[in-house]
Amino acid sequence: MMIENREYTATAAVENRSEDFTSGHKTKKMTIALTTLLVAIVAVFVDRFVIMRIQRQFSYTEGNSEAGVRFDVVDEEVLSLFVTFDENLDGVLDLSEFIQIANRILRRKAPAAEGPHKMKVADSSSDTSAPDVSHMAATEQLTVISNFTSLVLTSMTKYSDDHSSGFDGNEIQMQGLKSWNTSSVPMATYSVDEFRAFLPYPILEPPLGQPWHIVESRIDKDGPGLTSNRHYPTPVKGRLAILYKLLSMFHPRPFLLTRFGPQGTVACVRAESKDYLDIVFRIHAEFQLNEPPLLPFWFTPAQFLGNIVIKKDGTRVESFHLAVPNNKSLNVDMEWLVSTVAEGDTGFLPHMELNSVMPSILPGQQQTDEEVESTSKTIKWDKEISFDKAYKALEDAFYSFKEVPYVSFEDALNRAKEEKKLRDLRRLICLEFTGSGRTLREGPLESPPVVHMLKKKFISSWTLVAELKDIAANGTNLEVTKAAQAHLDIYKFPVMSVVSLPNGTVVSKMNANDLMERQSGEEILPPGFDDLLSHIYYKFLEEGIIGAKKFDEL
C-alpha cells in the first residue's frame, strides 16, 4: 500500500546503511478523450469486520481409500492448530512435532526431558532472545539494540472527538496496548550463524531483485485465515528461530504468521560483491498484547522493512537493520473483542526499530570506531540496484495488484492534467484511498481484466482517509484541496469507490457494502473473470467511463 512516496525513516535508514558499504552508486498515446478518477476511500476502521471474507472450501479425496473419504472445509481452527505444532514453520510436521500431538491424543504427559508443549511464551526476562553461549563460542556474535515508541493513542479513530462517546467497554481490553511503552528486550547478542536464515534459499545465487520466501505463506487468499482466539505464540525453532527472537525484542508475543494476508517474509539481494550480499527483506508479523483473562488484542504493523549486509558463507554480518515504516499517518491495524463484538481501529506508531551496534565480532574481541568504519568501507559492490527497486520487488511479491502503478492523490490529478496538455487526451485515473482494503486488493484489483483496464485507462493511487483529510485541511494547492474535500463529502463508511474528473468533480460512486450485496445475485461470468465481485467492479469502471464522457458533452 505504501508506494507513492518512499522517503520515510525506515527507508532512509536502510539506504544510509547501505551507502556505508558502497563505493559509488511509454507512455502509450491513447485514443480516448477522457479522464476519470477512481477513488476507493477506506475508513481507518479495519474492513474485515464489515466485509465478509469469501472463503473457499478445500477438499481432499483419499484415493487409496475404498470409500474415497472426502475431507471438506479446512477452517481457521484446523489451520491454526496445524501452525501451532509446526514449530519450524516448514509446512510439515516431523516426528518430534507430531509427538506432542500424539501425547495429547493419548492423553498422557510428555516426558520430563522434553517438557510439555507450551503455548505460552516466556516474558522479557526469559532466554527467548538470549544467545546460546556454547554454540557461539566458535562463531562471531552480533549485538542488536531495539527502540520502541508506543502508539499515539489520539491517532486512533476511537480516541477522536467524533467517536469518543462510543468508546465505552474498550478501555479494559486495551490494557495490553496502553501498558506497552518500551521494548521487551533493549539489547541482545546472537550468534552470526543464526542470521544464515536471511541468505538466499533454495536458489543460492539469485539475480539482483529476484525475491525468495524466508517464511512461506500458509493461507490462501480465498481460504480461511488463522483464528484470532489465541493468546500465546509457539516459539519458533530451527532455521527461522532468529526471526522470532528478533521480534521478541519488541514484545514477548510475536506471531510470524499473521492471521490474514499478506503473510510471510520475503527477501531479495540488493547488492553483491565477491564475498558479501546486501539483502533487503520485508516481514509481515503481528503481536498479541493481552494476557488472560482479557480477550486477545491483535497489533499488526503495516510491515517490517529491513536489510542485512552479510558474508556469503554466513560467517560475518556487517550490519543489520529492521523497522516499521513511519512515513504514513497510519501504520498499524488493531483488532480486539468487547464481549462478543469485534472491534477494530488503526493508528500511528512513531518508532519500532532494530539496529546492530557494530559488525559481528568473536567473543571477547574489541573493535574501535575507527576499525569498524575501516572494515565497512572495504566492501566494494560489484553490482547493485537501488533500494527503491528492491523494495518494489518485495512489494510485488506480496501484492499482485501492484502490477498497476500507484501514485499519490495530488500526483494523480497533476499527471492527468499534464497528459491532457501534452497529448491532447484525458487519461483515466484510479486512486485507492484505504487503511486496510483487503477485499479490494485481494479480489477485484487482482483480476486480470480489471488490471488491464486500470493500466490502459487509469492513473492509479492508494492513500488513507486520514491523509485525504490532511490534504483538505492543510494543502497548499487550492484545486487539490477542493478535490480532496469533494471526495470526503461523499464518503460513506467503510469503503467508497468513486469515479471523478481531474478537477475533483464526482462522476459516479459505489460503497463497498453495496458492492458486496450486489454479488449475491446469480450471474453468468464472462470469460476472464473468476468471481462475480471482480465482474461487478469492472462494470463499475465502465459505467464511470460512460459517465465521464457525458461531462465532455456538456
Quick: pLDDT tens for 247-264.
999 999 999 999 988 899
pLDDT at residue 157 greater than cutoff 70? yes
When pLDDT is averaged across residues 478-498 and rounded to a whole number, the result is: 86
Among 398, 426, 458, where does a domain finish?
398
Residue 357 near residue 369, CB atoms below 8 Å: no
Same domain membership, residue 404 and residue 394: no
Does the residue 374 lie in any domain? Answer: yes
Same domain, 209 and 353: yes
The Cα angle at residue 248 between residues 294 and 398, in degrees rounded to 5? 95
Phi, psi torsion values for 9, nearest 5 degrees: -55, -50
If asked whether residues 423 and 526 sit together in one domain, one would say yes
- E-only strand ranges, 28-69: 37-42, 59-61
CA dist 66 → 61, 69, 72 (Å): 11, 8, 18
The total number of structural domains in the chain stands at: 2
pLDDT surpasses 50 at 148: yes
Asked if 331 and 413 sit in the same domain, the reply is no
Asked if 415 and 377 sit in the same domain, the reply is no
Closest by CA to 261, choosing from 225, 296, 294, is 225
Q: What is the mean pLDDT of residues 80-98?
A: 72
Residue 403 buriedness (CB in 10 A; 0-12 / 13-18 / 19+) = middle
Secondary structure E strands in 205-313? 212-215, 254-255, 264-272, 276-284, 286-288, 297-301, 304-311
Round to whole Å and give the CA distance between 447 and 440.
Answer: 10
The 10s digit of each residue's pLDDT in 289-328 is 999 999 999 999 999 999 999 999 999 999 999 999 999 8
Query: What is the Cα Rg of the chain in Å?
Result: 25
Q: For the chain, give the mean pLDDT.
A: 77
Question: Is 445 found in the same domain as 391?
Answer: no
Same domain assignment for residues 346 and 406:
no
Residue with cell string 465505552: 168
Q: In the listed set 375, 398, 421, which residue is the last one of a domain according to the structure?
A: 398
Between 502 and 330, where is the model more confident? Answer: 330
Q: Taking residues 111-126, what's their average pLDDT?
A: 39
* Nearest to 286, CA basis, from 240, 327, 230: 230
pLDDT: which is higher, 300 or 502: 300
Q: Within a domain: residue 203?
A: yes
In a domain, 183, yes or no: yes
Lowest mean pLDDT among 96-105, 144-153, 398-407: 96-105
Strands 264-272, 383-384: pairing is antiparallel
Between CA 327 and CA 300 the distance in angstroms is: 16
Find where cell 557494530 sits.
358
Same domain assignment for residues 394 and 405: no
Q: How many CB atoms lie within 10 A of CB 111?
A: 10
How many angstroms separate the CA atoms of 515 and 499, rounded? Answer: 15
Per the domain annotation, does 1 fall within a domain?
no
Task: Give CA–CA dist 538/544, Å, rounded.
Answer: 10
Position 28 confidence tier, pLDDT thresholds 50, 70, 90: very low
At 128 the pLDDT is 41
Cis upstream peptide for 494 (omega within 30°): yes
pTM over 0.85: no
Answer with the one of 363, 398, 433 that is the final residue of a domain: 398
* In a domain? residue 427: yes
- pLDDT at position 187 over 80: yes
Are residues 243 and 379 located together in one domain of the fold? Answer: yes
Neighbours of 176 (CB within 10 A): 20
Average of pLDDT values for 527-545? 89
Q: 224 and 294: one domain? A: yes
Is-contact 191 139, C-beta < 8 A? yes
CATH number of residue 547's parent domain: 3.40.30.10
The residue ranking higher by pLDDT, 235 or 211, is 211
- Does 254 share its domain with 330? yes
239: DSSP letter:
G
Q: Is residue 212 part of a domain?
A: yes
In a domain, 45, yes or no: no
Find the distance separating the first CA and the last CA of the chain, reported in whole Å.
36
The answer to the question of residue 98 being in a domain is no
Mean pLDDT of 94-118: 65
- Calculate the alpha carbon distances from 102 to 199, 237, 255, 260 in Å: 34, 19, 24, 29
* Domain housing 245: 141-161+170-398
SS3 79: helix
Q: Are residues 369 and 390 in the same domain?
A: yes
| Residue keyed to cell 492471521 | 259
pLDDT at 550 over 60: yes
